[in-house]
Amino acid sequence: MMDIFAQLQRVFGFSSFRNNQEDIVEAILAGRDVFAVMPTGGGKSLCYQLPASLLSGGCIVISPLISLMKDQVDAAIAIGLDAAYLNSTLTQSKQQEVMAKMQRGGYQLLYLSPERLALPGFLQRLKQSPFAFLAVDEAHCISEWGHDFRPDYLALSRIREEFPHLPLAAFTATATEKVQEDITRRLHLSEPLLVRASFDRPNLFYQVVPRQQVNKQIAEAIREHKGEAGIVYRLSRNDVEKTAAYLSARGITALPYHAGLEAGERQSNQEAFNRDEVQVIVATVAFGMGIDKSNVRFVIHGDLPKNLESYYQETGRAGRDNEPAHCLLFYSRGDFFRLRPFIEQLQDQQEREFGLQQLRRMMAFAEQPKCRRRAVLAYFDEEYGQENCGACDICVHGIEEINGTIDAQKVMSAIYRTDQRFGVGHIVDIVYGAKSKRIVSLGHDQIKTYGVGRKEGKGHWRSVIDALLAQGLLRAEGGEYPLLKLTAAGEEVLFGKKDFIHHAILGPEKAVGQEDSHDQDLFSRLQLLRREMADAEGVPPYVLFSDRSLREMCCRYPENEAEFLAVSGVGQVKLSQYGAAFLAVIRDYLAEHPEIEKGPQAAAEEKEKQAGPKRLSSSDTLTETFVLAQEGLGVEEIAARRGLKPITIAGHLEQIFQQGENGLDILCFVEPDLLEELCAQFAAHGMARLKPVVESMGGRADYDLARIVRGYLEGTDTPLSFLPG
């Protein structure tokens, strides 16, 4: 029996398999076909690389892109595997050399493009080579339904016939059933081991924020990710250029990537990003397939993707190393009108309808106050099992009902008084009180609502209009410059017969609530060393060590070879290649910092981290509020102390009280009489909505207070029992 666990540790430097990896490895070793659908970052490569390292003759890997091949081969060589690729970038003589070695069975891994298989005579030579099995990576490229169909992949349909006795293992991250069926059918897999992993990417934090001044918002978001690599997606080439320039002008190193750039420039921008020479790549959807960079820490969408599939694929490029990463979408409803023309260009009526339906679903994702993870997974027909995913804005921050009737009336009255003949921009200008030529010449600076909303800013009014459209209180009519009209339901709000209630996400004070416990100083030094050594070898930095490995070094401070080997991702070869250099930096650092204690505590923390994918949790922020409340501070004071909004603190207190007995006295927050009255109102109106309760209190209790009392009521059995009197 081959010891796959020993090999996992020795070659790959990992202490355990991920979900499904072990089964797949065993199946290949037992000579079975495999079809595995696993999400990005799920660890597909190891599934064929490990058996390849054990079976004599190794593995032929079919992989779609030449640029990917090089990185993968570099990474395989870096862990000591005998790997190579065969493609047109090699000189003729190098190609001959590789083929000769292939025919001797000299490689553990040989990467080929599908085009290569189709070259005359090549298949014959391959058939004479003694390799042990074949792997088809990115197998969705064979499907015309996939997002990156490659006609050359169709040639793979013949593989099964040509190599009837060898195991064939196909891998893809594409989740749609249609594509999966296509793959199985076209590859003629025989009774394969079928693996369909969950599509959940627990390390990705999903967040949607209303778009206002997008470039400014993007720059601010990136500042939260100092020194971390990320991708910014924009819809148009023009916006890509503008955003890249905006960021560069503000000291964030960023390069553009889109199909309008010359191939050479595109390539070199991608390289620079890959090698951590620039922090950010700003790109259209043209960017993606060719990148295998594992340490992308954030993906920002400046515009709405056209469907959830694209959103999943694009955000999926973050956190391939399974470390926490942030997916941030800036949303404005206006994107519908920018995307619609692309869909309307489609020839086929059915496709057009499907496209629009998909776009609407994408909008619903951004607009509905529901767990983002659940919505993404539902798109792939996967039901998410947990109540709270712990890693999206909705689940972590919670949502708040807002009565926006007055705002709605301001907007609607502007629409009404201008005969429903203007679009979003103009209406916003009126409410905001812009002094544009158009406004003046139309006399719109004379109407009653002109300038009533200056204080809130234009972005606010755009968001209000978005929310009104989303709820069907307004509708947008017409093509490129749609006009805003009131619907019947909208008129009811305008004339005060109905309220306009919408949702806001509670104080998203911190996008990703990760408290990093690693040593940032040492991390920077190791990052630099990684880059220098990678440059010297002409490979991307993450090929040497993943961010995860570096972070572990910065918690554990390994000082000798044994300790270095214990770091995840360090196997024998990496130890001997890079161990000395990295250990030297760590030892120097420790010498400069005698105060650092490497102790059981650091090790224990580390263990905890490794125990599973880390959930980003809100518990830390709750604890902070709790501690301050225990000291006797009120909502306002806690808010001021923490630099957060009172509403956020009230939300925290609600959750704290909900959890039941906590040692906090509700009477520190509310006078007994008022508490009693609030309890009675909740009894009368139910707990679901705050508004009726607050309204019936006639100004004596605000939303924050009502919220806290509601939490208290939910967390206690006999609420009124200890009230005096």
321 or 677: CB nearest ligand ADP: 321
Q: How many chain residues bind Mg ion (CB under 5 A)?
A: 1
Least spacing, CB of residue 71 vs ligand ADP, in Å: 10
- Please tell me the distance from the alpha carbon of residue 485 to that of residue 53, in angstroms, as a whole number: 66
- Please tell me the distance from the alpha carbon of residue 440 to that of residue 579, in angstroms, as a whole number: 71
Residue position matching structure tokens 């069975």? 105
317 or 426: CB nearest ligand ADP: 317
Q: Show contacts with Mg ion in window 44-83 (CB under 5 A).
A: 44
Neighbours of 677 (CB within 10 A): 18
Rounded (10°) angle between helices 349-367 and 308-315? 60
- Please tell me the distance from the alpha carbon of residue 101 to that of residue 16, in angstroms, as a whole number: 33
Spatial neighbors of 154 by CB under 8 A, at least 6 apart, are 142, 186
174 or 418: CB nearest ligand ADP: 174
Structure tokens at 192: 């394969």
The string of DSSP letters for 313-377 reads HHHTTS-TTSS-EEEEEEE-TTHHHHHHHHHHT-S-HHHHHHHHHHHHHHHHHHHS-S-HHHHHH
- Strand-pair category, 83-86 with 204-210: unpaired
Identify which range of 43-51, 382-390, 481-489, 610-618 contacts Mg ion by CB under 5 A: 43-51
85 or 703: CB nearest Mg ion: 85
Q: Which of ligand ADP, Mg ion, none interacts with 46 (beta carbon under 5 to 8 A by kind)?
A: ligand ADP
Question: Alpha-carbon Rg of the chain, whole angstroms?
Answer: 29
**Is residue 513 within 8 Å of residue 396, measured between CB atoms?**
yes
Least spacing, CB of residue 228 vs ligand ADP, in Å: 16
> Is residue 46 near ligand ADP by the rule CB under 6 A?
yes
523 or 657: CB nearest ligand ADP: 523
Quick note: the x/- pattern for ligand ADP over 553-572, rule CB under 6 A, is ---------------x----
Q: Which helix (H) or strand (E) holds 628?
A: helix 619-630
Q: Show contacts with ligand ADP in window 282-341 (CB under 6 A).
A: 294, 320-322
Rounded (10°) angle between helices 405-417 and 458-470? 90
> Is residue 83 near ligand ADP by the rule CB under 6 A?
no
Identify which range of 41-49, 246-254, 259-267, 473-481 contacts Mg ion by CB under 5 A: 41-49
> Is residue 174 near ligand ADP by the rule CB under 6 A?
no
Least spacing, CB of residue 13 vs ligand ADP, in Å: 8
Least spacing, CB of residue 166 vs ligand ADP, in Å: 22
42 or 646: CB nearest ligand ADP: 42
Angle, CA 379 vertex, CA 374 and CA 384 arms, to 5°: 30
Structure tokens at 625: 């509020």
44 or 234: CB nearest Mg ion: 44
- Strand-pair category, 501-505 with 399-403: antiparallel
Q: Which of Mg ion, ligand ADP, none interacts with 294 (beta carbon under 5 to 8 A by kind)?
A: ligand ADP
Least spacing, CB of residue 76 vs Mg ion, in Å: 12
Q: How many chain residues bind ligand ADP (CB under 6 A)?
A: 18
Least spacing, CB of residue 657 vs ligand ADP, in Å: 40
Identify which range of 36-44, 209-217, 228-236, 572-580 contacts Mg ion by CB under 5 A: 36-44
> Is residue 35 near ligand ADP by the rule CB under 6 A?
no
Angle, CA 82 vertex, CA 80 and CA 85 arms, to 5°: 125
- Residue 724, SS3 per DSSP: coil
> Is residue 507 near ligand ADP by the rule CB under 6 A?
no
> Is residue 275 near ligand ADP by the rule CB under 6 A?
no
Identify which range of 39-47, 149-157, 348-356, 555-563 contacts Mg ion by CB under 5 A: 39-47
> Is residue 546 near ligand ADP by the rule CB under 6 A?
yes
Q: Which of Mg ion, ligand ADP, none interacts with 14 (beta carbon under 5 to 8 A by kind)?
A: ligand ADP
Identify which range of 40-48, 177-185, 186-194, 564-572 contacts Mg ion by CB under 5 A: 40-48
**Is residue 405 within 8 Å of residue 412, measured between CB atoms?**
no
**Is residue 567 within 8 Å of residue 68, measured between CB atoms?**
no
Least spacing, CB of residue 559 vs ligand ADP, in Å: 23
> Is residue 44 near ligand ADP by the rule CB under 6 A?
yes
Least spacing, CB of residue 541 vs ligand ADP, in Å: 13
Least spacing, CB of residue 393 vs ligand ADP, in Å: 25
> Is residue 549 near ligand ADP by the rule CB under 6 A?
no
- Please tell me the distance from the alpha carbon of residue 324 to that of residue 396, in angstroms, as a whole number: 15
Least spacing, CB of residue 43 vs ligand ADP, in Å: 3
196 or 598: CB nearest Mg ion: 196
Query: 451: phi > 0 → left, psi -120 to 50 → alpha, else beta; which?
Result: left
- Please tell me the distance from the alpha carbon of residue 377 to that of residue 196, in angstroms, as a whole number: 13
- Please tell me the distance from the alpha carbon of residue 99 to that of residue 86, in angstroms, as a whole number: 8
> Is residue 139 near ligand ADP by the rule CB under 6 A?
no
320 or 551: CB nearest ligand ADP: 320
Spatial neighbors of 667 by CB under 8 A, at least 6 apart, are 675
Closest CB to Mg ion: residue number: 44
44 or 410: CB nearest Mg ion: 44
Angle, CA 147 vertex, CA 142 and CA 149 arms, to 5°: 30
> Is residue 540 near ligand ADP by the rule CB under 6 A?
no
Identify which range of 42-50, 274-282, 462-470, 588-596 contacts ligand ADP by CB under 6 A: 42-50
- Please tell me the distance from the alpha carbon of residue 96 to that of residue 100, in angstroms, as a whole number: 6
393 or 606: CB nearest ligand ADP: 606
376 or 484: CB nearest ligand ADP: 376
- Please tell me the distance from the alpha carbon of residue 172 to that of residue 36, in angstroms, as a whole number: 7
**Is residue 13 within 8 Å of residue 569, measured between CB atoms?**
yes
- Please tell me the distance from the alpha carbon of residue 241 to that of residue 160, in angstroms, as a whole number: 46
Q: Which sign, positive or negative, has the C-alpha torsion 12, 16, 18, 23?
A: positive
- Please tell me the distance from the alpha carbon of residue 571 to that of residue 706, in angstroms, as a whole number: 57
Closest CB to ligand ADP: residue number: 43
38 or 247: CB nearest ligand ADP: 38
Residue choice 4, 11, 14, 701 for contact with ligand ADP (CB under 6 A)? 14
Query: What is the contact surface with Mg ion in residues (CB under 5 A)?
Result: 44
Binding site for ligand ADP (CB under 6 A): 14, 17-18, 21, 38, 40-46, 294, 320-322, 546, 568
